[in-house]
Amino acid sequence: MNKLMRRRPCKFCAAKKETIGYKEVPTLKEFVTDRGKIIPRRISGNCAYHQRGLTTAVKRARNIALLAFAEER
């Protein structure tokens, strides 16, 4: 639990990555749960700027069937 609550730095800032494209599926999958939901910022530690870009990218990827809207379990 403690591990989850500890503030972690934004992964995209750390990687010096300015933008996130919807075609970068392996990266997008890292920030989506097994069920296909976007992981909230408070868990991933992403900054507001990168979380916004990530959200847009995930939604575009879903639109064009690169990602699922919801994964059955």
Partner 1 sequence: MTAYETVFILKSSFSTEEEVAAIEKVRGVIERGGGVVSTLDRWDRKKLAYPIKKEKRGVYVIAHYEGGGAVISQIERHCKLEESVIKSMTTRLDPGALGKAIPNPDEKPIFFQEKFKGLRR
Please, are residues 24 and 58 in contact by the beta-carbon 8 Å criterion?
no
Residue 31 binding Zn ion, by CB under 5 A: no
Residue 44 · residue 31 · CB < 8 Å: yes
Q: Which two tokens stand for residue 33?
A: 């749960």
Single out the segment in contact with Zn ion by CB under 5 A; choices: 1-9, 29-37, 40-48, 59-67. 40-48
Q: Which does 41 bind (CB under 5 to 8 A by kind): partner 1, Zn ion, none?
A: none
> Any idea what DSSP says for residue 33?
-
Binding span for Zn ion by CB under 5 A among 9-17, 18-26, 37-45, 57-65: 9-17
Short-list 38, 42, 46, CA closest to 67: 38
Q: Is 41 in the site for partner 1 (CB under 8 A)?
A: no
Can you give the binding site for Zn ion, defined by CB under 5 A? 10, 12-13, 47, 50
